[in-house]
Copies of this chain bind each other. A is one copy, B any other.
Amino acid sequence: MIDFLQVKKEDAVYVQGDPLKTMITEIFTKLGVSDEDSAIVADILVASDLRGVDSHGVCYNIKRNYLPGITQGKINPRPNEQLLTETTATALMDGDGGLGHASAFRGMNIAIKKAGETGVGIVSIKNSTHCGMLGYYPLMATKQDMIGIAMTAGGPPTVMPTFGTEPMLSTSPLSIGAPAKNHPAFLLDMATSIAAGGKFQIANLLKTDIPEGWGLDENLEPTTDGNIGMTARKWLPLGGASRLMGGHKGFGLGLAVDILCGVLSGEGYLKMLNPDRLTHFLMAIDISAIRPVEEFKSMMDDMIDEFHNCPKEEGQPRIYIAGEPEWEAYLERSKNGIPIHREVHDWLVELAREMNVKNII
């Protein structure tokens, strides 16, 4: 995570992952979510915090998204999830408006199972909700010596197409993971906009400026105001506003994600889409179907070593492979705890008290 979006040390309360997970599980259970789904959601939320992906962790999302989502009826705590169609290598799932984490988790497990049988599996999910840190799902595949791919789309549009002046896309993230041998798995987990929505949210919350170029204000001028960035919601695709600098590639990538999620699943697109619904695309490739897994993983290690040995810009101590910063945050936070903003910690403790959930953080 970018330094200026980190919770400052003096504002932080350090919490261990396991008790946090226990509390979050119980909170979801009290909200009417099944034991199984509560445990899945808690695991994914806490995994985000442990991996330093604060924008998708416990702190910001329960209060803002999932709690009001359930209490206002936008998220179905007891969904009747169904497979609408199925072939040897594919499935279409209706999430029935349940917590996206649980549907995407089960969807990826189906994709992994199908990949084990045919070499590759794809699960398309409609009628779902926010599924949290997208990188979690490809990591489910890498743990099974598979390549994992996940995408998600939907929600109110925030990103502008090249040459457009109104937001038409979601930040439409995609994530690709591949296992290595001694190195942590490669894990790309990126919004197809320059900055993820969560980064705007956090900048807004921390009352900090944002870098010029992430988004425009209501008058289509570049803004560095974190508040305006969040409220104007005129964000730029990867590559920015200029076609010459490849902005149309970020736009095209976002659109590809929206097609593979919203259109393939049949949920819909943009204005035709229920703003409370999201869609997912989950895929696993069984490496052993193509070639020996150990050889693949050794080659991943060699490749990563080669990048680490690349000469570096002055002042830059290293080249980061996608997934490394998060893996290192995971090691550090598993030991020293997750820094949660004091105000959020207070809110969580108070919520637990109200819900009669034992406070163990």
Binding site for B on A (CB under 8 A): 2, 84-85, 87-90, 92, 117-122, 124, 147, 161-166, 168, 176, 178, 186, 188, 190, 194-195, 211, 213, 220, 238-240, 243-246, 248-253, 255-256, 258-260, 263-266, 268-272, 285-287, 289-291, 295-296, 299-300, 302-303, 306-307, 310-313, 316, 318-322
Beyond A239-B238, A291-B266, is A256–B122 a contact (Cβ under 8 Å)? no
Instruction: Give Cα distance in the complex from A290 to B83, angstroms.
Output: 10
Known: A85-B289, A248-B320. 11 other contacts (CB 8 A): A85-B290, A88-B89, A90-B289, A164-B311, A165-B312, A168-B306, A190-B252, A194-B246, A238-B249, A240-B245, A269-B302
Copies of this chain held together in the complex: 2
User: How near does chain B come to A121, taking the closest CB pair, in angstroms?
Assistant: 8
Q: Are A302 and B272 in contact (CB under 8 A)?
A: yes
Q: Are B122 and A285 in contact (CB under 8 A)?
A: yes
> Could you jot down 12 A-B contacts, CB within 8 Å?
A84-B291, A90-B289, A163-B313, A164-B313, A164-B319, A168-B307, A188-B255, A190-B253, A211-B245, A238-B246, A264-B296, A272-B299
Q: Are B248 and A87 in contact (CB under 8 A)?
A: no
Q: Are B248 and A322 in contact (CB under 8 A)?
A: yes
User: How near does chain B come to A245, taking the closest CB pair, in angstroms?
Assistant: 6
Beyond A164-B310, A194-B246, A269-B306, is A252–B188 a contact (Cβ under 8 Å)? yes
Q: Please name all residues of chain B whose beta carbon is closer than 8 Å to the beta carbon of A265 when the two chains form the complex.
A: 290-291
Q: Sorted from nearest, which 4 A-B pairs have the closest CB atoms?
A: A90-B119, A87-B119, A252-B322, A163-B316
Instruction: Give Cα distance in the complex from A117 to B120, angstroms.
Output: 13
Q: Are A190 and B249 in contact (CB under 8 A)?
A: yes
Q: Please name all residues of chain B whose beta carbon is closer than 8 Å to the beta carbon of A251 when the two chains form the complex.
A: 322
Q: Are B194 and A92 in contact (CB under 8 A)?
A: no
Q: Are B164 and A255 in contact (CB under 8 A)?
A: no
Q: Are B269 and A299 in contact (CB under 8 A)?
A: yes
Q: Are A120 and B90 in contact (CB under 8 A)?
A: yes
Q: Are B319 and A186 in contact (CB under 8 A)?
A: no
Q: Are A161 and B122 in contact (CB under 8 A)?
A: no
Q: Please name all residues of chain B whose beta carbon is closer than 8 Å to the beta carbon of A272 when the two chains form the complex.
A: 299, 302, 306
Instruction: Give Cα distance in the complex from A121 to B269, angstroms.
Output: 26
Q: Are A245 and B295 in contact (CB under 8 A)?
A: no
Beyond A256-B176, A285-B122, is A239–B85 a contact (Cβ under 8 Å)? no
Q: Are B270 and A303 in contact (CB under 8 A)?
A: yes
Q: Are A291 and B246 in contact (CB under 8 A)?
A: no
Chain B residue with Cβ nearest A160 = B310
| Residue from B163, B164, B190, B246 within 8 A of A195 (CB atoms) | B246
